Amino acid sequence: MDDRTPSALSAVVRRPHRADARRNFDKLLAAARTAFAEQGTGTPLEDIARSAGVGIGTLYRNFPTRQALFDAVYAGEVEELCHAAQDVADLPPWEAFSTWLDRFVSYVGTKRAISEELNRDSAMFRDARKAMYEAGEPLFARAQEAGEARRDASFDDVLRMITGIIATGYVSDEQRGRVLGFALDGIRTGKN
Amino acid sequence: MDDRTPSALSAVVRRPHRADARRNFDKLLAAARTAFAEQGTGTPLEDIARSAGVGIGTLYRNFPTRQALFDAVYAGEVEELCHAAQDVADLPPWEAFSTWLDRFVSYVGTKRAISEELNRDSAMFRDARKAMYEAGEPLFARAQEAGEARRDASFDDVLRMITGIIATGYVSDEQRGRVLGFALDGIRTGKN
DNA sequence: GGAAAAACGGAGGACACACTCCACTGCCGC
DNA sequence: GCGGCAGTGGAGTGTGTCCTCCGTTTTTCC
């Protein structure tokens, strides 16, 4: 990683200049990421600091508010997701879209943090949403143009639907997948 | 209302015998219901007591734990829902089912409490789930038998899907409705 | 009407978590 | 190497919520 702000998304927090500080910064981000994923956004910040092997003071210096920390984690995940959109570029329209959605599901699904905070609207959140849409929307549009996805649905509709579905509890991962499939069938045209 | 336990569902808490106490019990339940609906299950119990016009002590006497209070509220809502199933009994199969789902959505949708705690499994929660399924499942089965709903989906699948979808945030109620429609199309057969 | 029993309510102790502050530590540039 | 200063960490303070306890009030029953 280079040491400038890696993208407009994460402009909120600055990665520090000194080597040890940078190390701590990264450790915190990683710890927060798993903590948010496994226990939700409410995780005590002290726990995160401890599991990063760092004092609480250090956490606060890097991320003055819980929101700043959350934003930083979130920005990272969104970025990964945007990259994924490029990987599917040369699949056929519907496959490209649904593969990207799979990616979306596995990034977002296990980590409930994102759906938890979905309605927040910080500046950073708007940026993230925009970036994500720029990545995913073309894929959906292509599926629509190919006559594979219904035209009365917007990309936003689909994303919210998916987000909702994967955020609930299921008996098994298998059930989650099945249910997702049903919902996608409702988006796809010329099916069944 | 009579003064015995109104159903097996709410066996957890006892409605008190004395008139004033019973009044407070009901006020608390009502206050909790709106509070949970509007601010989620995390609402401070003191707020609920205050908005019921009752001391915190009274709340605790009636509902020794937050869970007990939540269970009581939840039980009430589930009961209403079960009744709704009877009202649609003589509509055509798919209409009956989707009308009941509408009911389900308007009971559950505005109040995010239920979906929040969906994965909890207290004894009471199991009962509620069972009651709800007894009410709704026949409607779904009928739609399946009439060839209107796909056979590879279970009632449980549908319910979880719906719950997930309505629990997320939307730009407008109109969007929520639209998205729900898409998802239901994925469940329905012989469509589009 | 009065006594016993039931219920009330809110002050206050306990706790969990957010966030600050500052004496100490160890990088980095010279 | 070494001095200055960015960075550290955790003890300590503040806040908000849970929950208990008990003197006071209300109801019920005779």
Of A30, A8, A36, give the one whose Cα is nearest residue A126: A8
Q: Contact A69/A26 with Cβ under 8 angstroms?
A: no
pLDDT in tens, B84-105: 888 888 899 999 999 998 888 8
Candidates B118, B157, B169; nearest CB to A182: B157
B68 touches strand D (CB under 7 A): no
Name every residue in B having a CB less than 8 A away from some CB of A.
115, 118-119, 150, 152-153, 156-157, 160-161, 163-171, 175, 178-179, 182-187, 189-192
pLDDT given for residue A104 in this prediction? 83
pLDDT given for residue B91 in this prediction? 93
Q: Which residue is nearest to nucleotide D7 (CA to C1')?
A: A21
Name every residue in A having a CB less than 8 A away from some CB of B.
115, 118-119, 150, 152-153, 156-157, 160-161, 163-171, 175, 178-179, 182-187, 189-192
Q: What is the DSSP letter of A190?
A: S
Q: Which residues of A touch B189 (CB under 8 A)?
A: 192
Say which CATH architecture domain B15-64 belongs to. Answer: Orthogonal Bundle (1.10)
List protein-proximal bases of chain D (any atom < 7 A from a CB): 6-12, 16-22, 26-28
pLDDT in tens, B28-53: 999 999 998 888 888 999 999 999 99
Q: Provide φ and ψ at A139, rounded to 5°.
A: -65, -40
Q: CA A81: distance to chain centroid?
A: 7
Domain ranges of chain A: 13-64, 71-187
Of A105, A21, A31, A121, give the one whose Cα is nearest residue A71: A121
Q: Which residue in A has a C-alpha nearest to residue B165's C-alpha?
A: A164
What CATH number matches the domain at A71-187, 3.20.20.150, 3.40.50.1970, 1.10.357.10, 3.30.565.10?
Answer: 1.10.357.10
User: Which neighbouring-strand residues pair with B188?
Assistant: B149
B45 touches strand D (CB under 7 A): yes
pLDDT given for residue B107 in this prediction? 73
**From the CA of B45, how many Å to the C1' of C4?**
32
Candidates B118, B160, B179; nearest CB to A161: B179
pLDDT given for residue B5 in this prediction? 40
pLDDT given for residue A130 in this prediction? 84
Q: Contact B187/B149 with Cβ under 8 angstroms?
A: yes
pLDDT given for residue A53 in this prediction? 96
Contact A179 B169 (CB under 8 A): no
B46 touches strand D (CB under 7 A): yes
Q: Which segments in chain B show pLDDT lower than 50?
A: 1-8, 192
pLDDT given for residue B83 in this prediction? 85
**From the CA of A59, how many Å to the C1' of D1?**
32
**From the CA of A153, how many Å to the C1' of C23?**
61
Say which CATH architecture domain A13-64 belongs to. Answer: Orthogonal Bundle (1.10)
What CATH number matches the domain at B74-187, 1.10.357.10, 2.60.40.10, 3.90.79.10, 3.40.50.1820?
Answer: 1.10.357.10
Sequence letter at residue A80: E
In the A/B pair of chains, how many CB contacts fall below 8 A? 90
Q: What is the pLDDT along chain A (192 residues), one digit of tens a residue?
A: 433 334 445 555 677 889 999 999 999 999 999 998 888 888 999 999 999 999 999 999 999 998 889 888 888 888 888 888 888 888 999 999 999 988 888 777 556 666 556 555 666 777 877 888 888 999 999 999 999 999 999 999 998 899 888 877 788 889 999 999 999 999 998 644
Q: What's the CA gap between A165 and A180, in Å, rounded?
A: 7
Q: What's the CA gap between B188 and B148, in Å, rounded?
A: 6
How far apart are the CA of B83 and the nearest CA of chain A, in angstroms? 25
CB atoms within 10 A of CB B82: 18
